[in-house]
Amino acid sequence: MDRSSTAKQIVKAVQPVFHQTIPYQQAKRTLSTLQWNDIDLEHEQFRQVGALIQIVKQADPDGGLFLSSDPTTFRFLSIFI
């Protein structure tokens, strides 16, 4: 299972392993929790981009480092080192 899984897939996957049928709503809540945990992890990783940039610039002040973001939403798009 991953964040692209559906609640219906979770219900089908649990049944043969645990010999129980879980309610669709419970599967949906479980999936939602997994997705939010992934989002929290991504936020933490993006918070560390500033420190990465400083480390790279200290190691190679003349090197190329390009950070791109969406000009309308300011969301991170990519970093090229």
In total, how many domains does the chain have? 2
Give the pLDDT band of residue 3 (cuts 50, 70, 90).
low
Tokens of 52: 């990465």
Q: What are phi and psi of 79, to 5 degrees?
A: -135, 135
pLDDT at 29 (0 to 100): 85
Same domain for 57 and 73, yes or no, is: yes
For the entire predicted model, the pTM comes to: 0.42
**Rounded distance, CA 14 to CA 22, Å?**
7
Tokens of 12: 């089908």
**Rounded distance, CA 81 to CA 70, Å?**
18
Same domain for 4 and 31, yes or no, is: yes
Task: Determine the structural domain holding residue 6 and report its residue range.
Answer: 1-47
Q: What is the DSSP letter of 4?
A: T
Give the pLDDT band of residue 38 (cuts 50, 70, 90).
low
pLDDT at 71 (0 to 100): 84
Same domain for 59 and 37, yes or no, is: no
Same domain for 26 and 55, yes or no, is: no
- Kindly state the average pLDDT of the residues 24-39: 78
pLDDT at 46 (0 to 100): 77
Same domain for 43 and 79, yes or no, is: no
Same domain for 40 and 57, yes or no, is: no
